Each structure stands twice: as C-alpha cells, then as structure tokens.
C-alpha cells in the first residue's frame, strides 16, 4: 500500500487527490485557487481518525505555485492526512500539451520539464504552471516517482489525414500546426473500461467516446487507438461547449474585429474561449443545468443553445461512424455526459436508422451502466470518467518498470 498524488495544475489553480494504491482509494482531495491574487484559497477534504468527513479551508495570499505546493503539503501533515512526506511514493502531473514528443506518460526529469516549458506556445496558460509545479514537487518530494501524464498522448496515434489542416504544408513542417486534441486521459480511460464492460478486446472494437463536460470533445477509437478527435490545435475546436465556440469559420474573426472596433486579435480569441458556447448563445449561463432549467421555463434562446449543443454532438458522432465504417460502442462521460439523460437520449435518437435503441429505464442513471437495449446494434454506455485514477495508475506502472 502506498500513497500517490494526482496533480492538475492550471494557471491560477492546483487540484489534487491523494490515492492509496493499488487499492485506488481516494483518501483526500481538494484544491488551491486564486494563486497570485490577494486572497487565495486552500481546500482539503479528508476523513479524520474517527471516520468523519472533514473539510479544511484557509484563505490567505498565495503568491505563486511554489507557495501553493508548500502550503498544501504542510497542511496535509498538520491535518494528519500524512505523517511524513516519505509516505507519498508517487506523484502524477497532468500536462495539457505534450506536442508530438510525448506519446505516453513519462517519468519527470529536467529534460521533460524543459520540453514542457518549450511546448508552452501550444498551452500558454497551463504548461508554464505545470513545469513550475513539477519542479517544486521534485524539490519537496525528491524520493517520489514522478510522472507527467499528457492530455494529448492518446491522440498521437491519429493518422495525418485526420490531424493535418488543409493549410500550406509548410505551416505543419515549420511550426507544427496540426490537430493535437485534448482530454486524452479521459477518452483512453473510458474506452478501455467500455471494452471491459462489453467483454471484448479493445483491439476488436470501434468506439466513440463523448466527453461532455464544461469542455467537451468526442473521439473515434479504433483498435484501441484514437484515430480522430474533435478538439484541434487547441481545445477551442469541435463541439459547442460551456463557453467555447467549437468549430467556426475563421473569416468571422476579421469581420467581428471591424464591427466591434477590436484591435487586438487575442480579444476575439478570448470571446471565442470564454464568452461563447452555451453561455454566449443562451445569455443565461455556461452551466448545462441552468440552461436546461431556463429552456424548461420557456426561454427560447436557452432552448436554441441546447439544440445547437445536441446538434454538434450528433454531427461529430455521425462523422466518426462514417470514418470507422460503423461503430460498436458509444460512451458518454463527464459532467453532462454522465448526468444528462436527455442529452444521451436526444443524441442517440439520431442513430435509430442504424439500429441503435436506448432503454429509457436503463438511461435513467448517473452511474456506470449500459443504457441501450439488449437488441440494440450498438452498445451505448454511461461511464463516469476518472482522470485522477488513470494518472495514479500510470505512476504505478512507471514505478514498477
């Protein structure tokens, strides 16, 4: 039995879980937020010696990621969640951009950290913070096995016809402009779980995984490998999301800049990333629950936002059925995928032509379950994703090597 930390660092936050391995029991989780702002927060959830669930919170200035890690580790000791840093035998770091270099999870060393820094132009908000956090953990927990788990690794198997844009080829050769995708850890995790559930080798299956959270992406998995995914050069592409546009005609950019008197193109990209999607369309919220509620109450824009979201998911699933010449399993996961039975039902209704049948009773669930009928030509499964467990498993695997 040993403790592994799964770390997910962003530009101003750091989420963590401590997982007892190989049992995969989560003994503590929480986050540090508002790093670099006047009032930072630390929140740690854990179970105390009497078996009671506890939540520890602290508010103070947390100047940088180094301080965030220090504060987190010292409070883990003080709360008695760990007795000694030596207990933490492994640390897995989620890294957003691994470019074409990292095809799988990799042990952290100085070269890797440098590469993560160099890849910052593909994930300017995430990679620099992740590099800093890896360095701090190396310093504080030098004995621990440390691995980087990349969001992009699973998608490095895509063929050129799916990862290349129809741009001058030199842009790919000179600047590595291509589709990288994201959410790879989640797509890989649920695809493998789906194969276990249907009891067939993943190599024999055509799977479409729909990770529908605040960020959303859809992946075609053939022979156990990602062959196409809806996110692109960055997570902006693909289906409509909480606040992101998904796919859009690039000509809209100069047009909006002129009409709105915007001179900085980054402002437009910011609108596409943060003010569009369900939020921009509905004018209500980026949160699916709020949009569903507003639509229910008769808000037409909210209903249109929902219709567009469903429509984009349907179109991507349809594309992936086409490129794989059929599909054996469709998986729904993440906040919306796991919880919104309406989304699952509405999306899959469009595939009745190929013999897909959803069982309404089975679909009334938030847990892992097959939600299609026994005679459905395609098995449709709801699978809660668990990126932290996937990260901890990769650390264990690398530790054993």
Name the E strands within 96-168.
Answer: 106-107, 145-150
Rule CB under 6 A: choose which of 214, 223, 303, 350 binds ligand ADP: 214
Name the E strands within 230-340.
Answer: 329-333
Q: At a CB cut-off of 8 Å and minimum separation 6, what does 195 contact?
A: 201, 202, 205, 207, 224, 329
Q: At a CB cut-off of 8 Å and minimum separation 6, what does 40 contact?
A: 32, 33, 34, 59, 60, 61, 62, 68
Rule CB under 6 A: choose which of 131, 313, 336, 383 binds ligand ADP: 336
User: From the annotation, which residues make up the binding site?
Assistant: 8, 15, 94, 211-215, 287-289, 335-339, 387
Q: Tell me how many degrees the CA angle 158-160-166 measures, rounded to the nearest 5.
A: 125
User: From the annotation, which residues make up the binding site for substrate?
Assistant: 94
Task: Report which of 354, 191, 348 is spatially closest to residue 362, judged by C-alpha positions.
Answer: 348
| Active site (annotated) includes residue 247 | no
User: From the annotation, which residues make up the binding site for ATP?
Assistant: 15, 211-215, 287-289, 335-339
Cβ proximity to ligand ADP: between 87 and 287 the closer is: 287
Nearest distance in Å: CB 387, ligand ADP: 9
Cβ proximity to ligand ADP: between 214 and 350 the closer is: 214
Q: Cα 320 to chain center, whole Å?
A: 20
Nearest distance in Å: CB 296, ligand ADP: 12
- Phi, psi at residue 255, to the nearest 5°? -65, -50
Say whether residue 339 binds ligand ADP (CB under 6 A): yes
Cβ proximity to ligand ADP: between 279 and 380 the closer is: 279
Residues 340-369 touching ligand ADP, rule: CB under 6 A, are 340
Nearest distance in Å: CB 344, ligand ADP: 11
Q: Give, rounded to a whole angstrom, the gap between the first and last alpha carbons of the chain.
A: 17
Nearest distance in Å: CB 234, ligand ADP: 15
Cβ proximity to ligand ADP: between 292 and 394 the closer is: 292
Nearest distance in Å: CB 278, ligand ADP: 7
- 375-400: b (≥16 Cβ within 10 Å) or e: ebebbbbbbbbbbbbbbbbbbbebbe
Residues 232-291 touching ligand ADP, rule: CB under 6 A, are 242, 287-289
Say whether residue 213 binds ligand ADP (CB under 6 A): yes
Active-site entry in 48, 118, 151, 204: 151
Provide the token pair at 340.
């919104």
Query: Containing H/E element for 111?
Result: helix 110-118
Rule CB under 6 A: choose which of 40, 98, 181, 215 binds ligand ADP: 215
Nearest distance in Å: CB 187, ligand ADP: 13
Say whether residue 90 binds ligand ADP (CB under 6 A): no
| Strand partners for 218 | 210
What SS3 state is found at 3?
strand
Cβ proximity to ligand ADP: between 328 and 338 the closer is: 338
Cβ proximity to ligand ADP: between 33 and 328 the closer is: 33
Rule CB under 6 A: choose which of 32, 96, 334, 380 binds ligand ADP: 334
Number of residues counted as binding ligand ADP (CB under 6 A): 12
Rule CB under 6 A: choose which of 327, 335, 380, 382 binds ligand ADP: 335
- Phi, psi at residue 2, to the nearest 5°? -150, 160
Q: Residue 185 to residues 181, 192, 360, 363, 377: CA-CA distances in angstroms?
A: 11, 11, 29, 25, 27
Residues that are catalytic? 151
- Contact positions vs ligand ADP (CB under 6 A): 213-215, 242, 287-289, 334-336, 339-340
């Amino acid at each position: 039995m040993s403790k592994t930390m799964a770390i997910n660092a962003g530009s101003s936050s750091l989420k963590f879980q401590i997982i007892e391995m190989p049992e995969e029991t989560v003994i503590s989780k929480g986050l540090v937020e508002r790093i670099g702002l006047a009032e930072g927060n630390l929140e740690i959830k854990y179970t105390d010696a009497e078996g009671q669930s506890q939540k520890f919170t602290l508010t103070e200035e947390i100047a940088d990621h180094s301080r965030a890690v220090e504060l987190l580790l010292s409070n883990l000791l003080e709360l008695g969640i760990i007795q000694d840093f030596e207990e933490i035998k492994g640390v897995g770091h989620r890294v957003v951009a691994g470019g074409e270099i990292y095809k799988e999870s990799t042990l952290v060393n100085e070269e890797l950290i440098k590469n993560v820094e160099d890849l910052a132009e593909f994930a300017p908000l995430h990679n620099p913070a992740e590099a800093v956090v890896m360095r701090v953990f190396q310093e504080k927990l030098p004995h621990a096995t440390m691995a980087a788990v990349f969001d992009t690794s699973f998608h490095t198997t895509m063929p050129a016809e799916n990862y290349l844009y129809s741009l001058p080829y030199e842009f790919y050769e000179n600047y590595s402009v291509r589709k990288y995708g994201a959410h790879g850890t989640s797509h890989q995790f649920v695809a493998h779980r789906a194969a276990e559930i249907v009891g067939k080798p993943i190599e024999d299956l055509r799977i479409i995984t729909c990770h529908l959270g605040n960020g959303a992406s859809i992946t075609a998995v053939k022979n156990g490998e990602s062959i196409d995914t809806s996110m692109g050069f960055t997570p902006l592409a693909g289906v409509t999301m909480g606040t992101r546009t998904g796919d859009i005609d690039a000509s809209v950019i100069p047009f909006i800049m002129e009409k709105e008197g915007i001179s900085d193109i980054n402002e437009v990209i910011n609108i596409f990333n943060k003010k569009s999607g369900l939020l921009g369309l509905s004018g209500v919220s980026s949160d699916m629950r709020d949009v569903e509620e507003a639509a229910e109450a008769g808000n037409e824009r909210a209903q249109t936002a929902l219709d567009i979201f469903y429509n984009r998911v349907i179109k991507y699933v349809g594309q992936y059925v086409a490129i794989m010449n059929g599909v054996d399993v469709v998986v729904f996961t993440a906040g919306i995928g796991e919880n919104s039975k309406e989304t699952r039902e509405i999306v899959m209704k469009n595939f009745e032509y190929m013999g897909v049948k959803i069982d309404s009773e089975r679909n009334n669930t938030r847990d892992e379950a097959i939600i299609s009928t026994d005679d459905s030509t395609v098995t449709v499964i709801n699978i809660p994703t668990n990126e932290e467990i996937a990260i901890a498993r990769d650390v264990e695997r690398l530790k054993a090597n």
